[in-house]
A and B are shown apart, each in its own frame.
Chain A
Amino acid sequence: MNEYHVIGKRLPRIDAKEKVRGQAHYSDDLKLAGMLCGMILRSPFAHAGILKIDASRALNVPGVKAVITGDDTIKAKYGVISRSPKFVDEYPLAVDRVRFIGDEVAAVAATDPDAALEALDLIQVDYEELPAVFDPDQALKPEAPQIHDHAPGNISREFHLKQGDVERGFLESDLVREDTFTTQSAIHAYLEPHAALAEWDMSGRLTLHTSTQTPYYVQQHLALTLGINPDRVRVIKPYVGGGFGGKSDGMAALDFCAALLARKTGKPVKIVYSRDEEFTAARQKHPVTITMKTGVKKDGTLVARQCKAFLDGGAYCSLGPLTTVLVGTFQTLPYRIPNYRYDGYRIYTNKPPCGAMRGHGGPQAHFAQDVQLDMIAEELGLDPVEMALRNGLRTGERSAAGFNIISSGFTGCVQKVGEETRIKEKKSSKKGARGKAYGIGLGCGGFPSGAGFYFTNTTSAHSSVIIRAGEGGGVSVLTGASDIGQGSDSIICQIVAEVLGLGLEDIRITSADTAMTPPDMGTYSSRVTVAAGNAALKAARAAREEIFRVVAKKMEANPEDLVAADRRIFVKGSPDVFTPFEQAVNLYQTESGGAPLVVRGSYNSPDKMSPTYSFGAYVAEVEVDLRTGEVQVLRITAGHDCGQPLNPMSVEGQVEGCIVMGMGYALSENLSFEGGQTLNPSFLGYRAPVANQCPEIVIHHVIGRDPEGPFGAKETGEGSLDPVTPAIANAIYNAVGVRIKDLPITPEKILRELKKKEKGHEKETD
């Protein structure tokens, strides 16, 4: 790593100081003079017609300035996947009908929250309750209530994939297993609730500060639903307190309501979701029922897979049509499956809409895949580690879904965690504390480093970066890529600093402000490091070329012989004769007639699936309390291949965050519903992990150099989640000998299965 100055170093993030001092401003921290407080009225019914809305009493409350309903809008639908009209299925405020408890019906703006709250109570809505359906099986029945006119049978999306001949594959297999797995309703539970602050200027231009992963899409969808040109919408993303896919829908109802209320009142309007709204009405993760049939040879070689998945989509599309695809495609990583067939169906139900959540379809599919492979390994008397090594995709191969693997460190990951944990040995010589059972298990995954296309029709590049150098020698970087806490601002600055021979402190980054920063798809599909990173790399190289050109002239050297390091430009090997970077910028300006040094770089994925893929293999060690069924995850050992980690400390942060989120998904997190009503809309009710439940985490970077990623880097923010849940599930089985194929694996389920197993034994011995 000696060749680099900034890349590959464990550098603190550029925004860490502001954050530890409480000086980082998030959307809710912003205030404008005369600002009003907005709130949203939500449907109390899971499915109902709206007959009449009377806001007159609400408007009489002192301090209330405006009430808006669907009738105040242009009644334009939106949907993040706007390329396909049938995925554009949602009004920002309900028109004639509501489809889930929490659906947005009206919004109010008032001088203070108490008045707004009182007004919400006084808006009189006459509903006509309609039959509702909460379960995909029920929703598919012919007599089921129809949730959307455009989707007969309540099918929101179906997707089919075929590669090779599965029937022949099963015939050629020595063992064929079929299992059904189910996953729960989960939710992002980012710490910062959605917040949006809208203001219009006198020329009819809107500025919206909002908590989003995708400022560009917010701009597009606001323009669409407000009926104005996108160029009149400026979306600014301040600091964002986490997203994990929950802020990637392009527009949330509060963005629209704040904008419309601000237009109506002529004053700035801020809306902040309560935590209750976040748990009951924001986007969720799809519960999926996965029936997986897998055929293998005696030696564990995968021959065929047939998978059928039913996704409970909730009331609207959100990103769900894509999830339907990804449950099918992501399970073709990290293994070679010669014959493959997938049939995915997303079903509308009268529940909160489900969209993208970290891993986006991967965690559900990988839970099923790696638990089933563990079962197969056991049946065949094989070591899961050997089986993973046998089937793992290698560099140059293509997955069954058509993912082109240009660099794979999967083998290295499996070998490393296998050796380090001595999993084979520990699996049989299990030692648990008194009354507890110890178990160990493997889980694997692979993930794309970014999507290969926009959801909208656009001429913009996937990512673009503009760099400007000032006469003081500082550099400004403009990017539409959104740091939501994952650290992309720091990574982009590291890339620019490395190329220009500067320190992180010499660079100012703006991300993102659609009036200043170039369009960017945003933060989703784990794309920012590769896409925005490459755009930054190109822009930085362009800046360096300009600088070298003028410096070479002055120093009477060849531009190719120059290097940039320590804020200096010099001929390679002669660092003592140099031009300071600042002087070089001024040289450029002198030569250009005073024109500033401004350069740009853009990146489009060369592959319409994804530029490249990350890989991972994790081993979980657990202890199960045989009396209470409680699971303690003792240790997770992670082997992951993100190519070249650009900042290992930041990469570890992503892996650790994924491990704890995956542990919550495996063991406790679950939103419960009754009649479409969320029963546990709170952090404690939802049971996301807290500090004293966390395992020891050991991380092994399996370093490679990806040919496509900037400085050889690949993604790490989402793929790192996939191996966690199956590793824990397999470890629990190893500990107590019961298989639970229904997430989360709660103490109740473990005890119930243990009891069943005991009874079975009793019967056998009778």
Chain B
Amino acid sequence: MKKKLIELQVNDEVHSLAVKPNDTLLDALRDHLGLVGTKEGCSVGECGACTVLVNGRAVLSCLTLALDATGVQITTIEGVSQGEALDPIQQAFVDHGAVQCGFCTPGMILTAKELLEVQKHPSVDEIKQALSGNFCRCTGYTKIVEAIRAASKEQGA
């Protein structure tokens, strides 16, 4: 298959890369750019592990073609923290024991990021609803919900 040269804007950096028409955004991030923090759990849009932000909205990178991801701002888990300092959501995940195997964690954090951007103080039910497209098999979701709640309180009114 013939490759096409595209530009992707990821974590405030512009990358030029040659992708095949069937390469997904997930392939581009992981295989071309080495941003392996974005995880592949199912490749069919069911598990949420590959969630990234596109213009601030949570998107499944395994269902997005790389060719369609140009001209937008992409944020992956590597772009969430500000240098050494963790994002408040990341810090809350650490402090509240919301991380076990960690494979769903990047997707969970980016989903939470979108949620708290849209809605500063979601209820427990709203958090659970927002997370219901992200599978986790380790935590029973309890501490993930707690962490997001704590992060939402942290960010004030």
Give residues 649-688 of A contacting B (CB, 8 Å).
649-650, 652-653, 656-661, 682-684, 688
Inside 8 A of B86's CB, which chain A residues have their CB?
17, 20-21
Inside 8 A of B34's CB, which chain A residues have their CB?
31
Among candidates A21, A241, A649, residue contacting B101 with C-beta atoms closer than 8 Å: A241
| Category for how many chain B residues contact A | 35 or more
A217 CB → nearest B CB, Å: 20
B94 CB → nearest A CB, Å: 4
B36 near A190: Cβ-Cβ < 8 Å: no
A10 at the interface (CB under 8 A from B): yes
A690 near B132: Cβ-Cβ < 8 Å: yes
B140 near A191: Cβ-Cβ < 8 Å: no
Give the CA-CA distance A192 to B39 in the complex, in Å. 8
A242 near B38: Cβ-Cβ < 8 Å: no
B100 near A486: Cβ-Cβ < 8 Å: yes
Give the CA-CA distance A732 to B81 in the complex, in Å. 45
The segment out of A22-30, A291-299, A590-598, A608-616 that lies at the interface is A22-30
B74 CB → nearest A CB, Å: 14
B46 near A683: Cβ-Cβ < 8 Å: yes
B58 at the interface (CB under 8 A from A): no
B140 near A242: Cβ-Cβ < 8 Å: no
A657 and B140 contact, Cβ closer than 8 Å, known pairs A16-B99, A22-B37 = yes
Give residues 1-58 of A contacting B (CB, 8 Å).
10, 12-13, 15-26, 28-29, 31
B44 near A656: Cβ-Cβ < 8 Å: no
A191 near B39: Cβ-Cβ < 8 Å: yes
B90 at the interface (CB under 8 A from A): yes
The segment out of A74-82, A569-577, A691-699, A746-754 that lies at the interface is A691-699
Q: Which residue of A lies closest to B90 (CB)?
A: A20
Give residues 229-264 of A contacting B (CB, 8 Å).
239-242, 244
Give residues 12-53 of B contacting A (CB, 8 Å).
20, 22, 30, 34-44, 46-47, 49
A328 CB → nearest B CB, Å: 28
Give the CA-CA distance A239 to B105 in the complex, in Å. 13
Q: Which residue of A lies closest to B37 (CB)?
A: A22
Q: Which residue of B lies closest to A12 (CB)?
A: B94
A653 near B77: Cβ-Cβ < 8 Å: no
Give the CA-CA distance A356 to B143 in the complex, in Å. 27
A485 near B145: Cβ-Cβ < 8 Å: no
With a 10 A CB-CB cut-off, give which of B91, B97, B145 has the most chain A CB atoms: B97
Q: Which residue of B lies closest to A648 (CB)?
A: B97
Q: Which residue of B lies closest to A660 (CB)?
A: B140
A239 near B139: Cβ-Cβ < 8 Å: no
B26 CB → nearest A CB, Å: 12
A682 near B135: Cβ-Cβ < 8 Å: no
B95 at the interface (CB under 8 A from A): yes
B132 near A691: Cβ-Cβ < 8 Å: yes
Give the CA-CA distance A257 to B95 in the complex, in Å. 40
A485 near B101: Cβ-Cβ < 8 Å: yes
Q: Which residue of B lies closest to A684 (CB)?
A: B46
B102 near A15: Cβ-Cβ < 8 Å: yes
A10 near B81: Cβ-Cβ < 8 Å: no
A691 near B137: Cβ-Cβ < 8 Å: no
B137 near A657: Cβ-Cβ < 8 Å: yes
Among candidates B81, B91, B101, residue contacting A190 with C-beta atoms closer than 8 Å: B101
Q: Mark B83-99, 1 if CB is under 8 A from A, else 0.
A: 00010001101111101
Task: Give how many A residues have a beta carbon under 8 Å from the other chain's beta carbons.
Answer: 57
Inside 8 A of A22's CB, which chain B residues have their CB?
35-38, 76-78, 106
Give residues 64-120 of B contacting A (CB, 8 Å).
76-78, 80-81, 86, 90-91, 93-97, 99-106, 109
B1 at the interface (CB under 8 A from A): yes
B155 at the interface (CB under 8 A from A): no
Q: Which residue of A lies closest to B34 (CB)?
A: A31
Give the CA-CA distance A190 to B37 in the complex, in Å. 17
Inside 8 A of B41's CB, which chain A residues have their CB?
191-193, 275
Among candidates B38, B109, B127, B136, residue contacting A20 with C-beta atoms closer than 8 Å: B109
Give residues 106-157 of B contacting A (CB, 8 Å).
106, 109, 125, 127-129, 131-145
Q: Which residue of A lies closest to B42 (CB)?
A: A275
Give the CA-CA distance A657 to B143 in the complex, in Å. 10
A653 near B105: Cβ-Cβ < 8 Å: no
B105 near A20: Cβ-Cβ < 8 Å: yes
With a 10 A CB-CB cut-off, give which of B34, B138, B141 has the most chain A CB atoms: B138
Q: Mark A461-485, 1 if CB is under 8 A from B, else 0.
A: 0000000000000000000000011
B49 near A191: Cβ-Cβ < 8 Å: yes
A23 near B37: Cβ-Cβ < 8 Å: yes
A395 at the interface (CB under 8 A from B): no
Q: Which residue of B lies closest to A28 (CB)?
A: B40
A188 at the interface (CB under 8 A from B): yes
B43 near A274: Cβ-Cβ < 8 Å: yes
A487 at the interface (CB under 8 A from B): yes
Among candidates A241, A684, A688, residue contacting B102 with C-beta atoms closer than 8 Å: A241
Q: Which residue of B lies closest to A244 (CB)?
A: B137
A451 CB → nearest B CB, Å: 22
Inside 8 A of A18's CB, which chain B residues have their CB?
102
A653 and B138 contact, Cβ closer than 8 Å, known pairs A192-B41, A682-B44 = yes
Inside 8 A of A17's CB, which chain B residues have their CB?
86, 94
A191 near B132: Cβ-Cβ < 8 Å: no
A50 CB → nearest B CB, Å: 29
A500 at the interface (CB under 8 A from B): no
Inside 8 A of A275's CB, which chain B residues have their CB?
41-44, 46-47
A284 CB → nearest B CB, Å: 15
Inside 8 A of B30's CB, which chain A residues have their CB?
29
A488 CB → nearest B CB, Å: 11
Among candidates B20, B36, B100, residue contacting A25 with C-beta atoms closer than 8 Å: B36
B25 CB → nearest A CB, Å: 15
Q: Which residue of A lies closest to B127 (CB)?
A: A691
Give the CA-CA distance A15 to B139 in the complex, in Å. 16
Give the CA-CA distance A564 to B91 in the complex, in Å. 30
B131 CB → nearest A CB, Å: 4
Q: Which residue of B lies closest to A195 (CB)?
A: B40
A688 and B140 contact, Cβ closer than 8 Å, known pairs A15-B102, A21-B86, A22-B37 = no
Q: Which residue of A lies closest to B133 (CB)?
A: A690
B100 near A657: Cβ-Cβ < 8 Å: yes
Q: Which residue of A lies closest to B145 (CB)?
A: A691
Q: Which residue of B lies closest to A697 (CB)?
A: B142
A114 at the interface (CB under 8 A from B): yes
A649 and B137 contact, Cβ closer than 8 Å, known pairs A22-B36, A192-B103 = no
Give the CA-CA distance A650 to B128 in the complex, in Å. 21
Among candidates B93, B96, B101, B145, residue contacting A240 with C-beta atoms closer than 8 Å: B101
Give residues 252-306 of A contacting B (CB, 8 Å).
272, 274-275
A56 CB → nearest B CB, Å: 24
Inside 8 A of B77's CB, which chain A residues have their CB?
20-22
B17 CB → nearest A CB, Å: 15
B78 near A691: Cβ-Cβ < 8 Å: no
Inside 8 A of B96's CB, which chain A residues have their CB?
649
A485 and B138 contact, Cβ closer than 8 Å, known pairs A25-B36, A691-B131 = yes
B101 near A688: Cβ-Cβ < 8 Å: no
Inside 8 A of A333's CB, which chain B residues have their CB?
none
Inside 8 A of A188's CB, which chain B residues have their CB?
137
Inside 8 A of B20's CB, which chain A residues have their CB?
114
Inside 8 A of B91's CB, which chain A residues have their CB?
20
Closest 6 CB pairs of A and B: A22-B37, A485-B101, A241-B103, A19-B102, A22-B77, A660-B140
15 extra interface residue pairs, beta carbon distance < 8 Å, beyond A660-B141, A690-B132: A12-B95, A16-B99, A20-B86, A22-B35, A24-B102, A191-B136, A485-B101, A485-B138, A649-B96, A683-B46, A684-B46, A691-B131, A691-B136, A692-B128, A692-B132
A-B contact list, 8 entries, CB within 8 Å: A13-B97, A15-B99, A19-B102, A20-B99, A114-B20, A190-B101, A242-B138, A656-B142
Give me the interface of B with A, judged by CB distance under 8 Å: 1, 20, 22, 30, 34-44, 46-47, 49, 76-78, 80-81, 86, 90-91, 93-97, 99-106, 109, 125, 127-129, 131-145
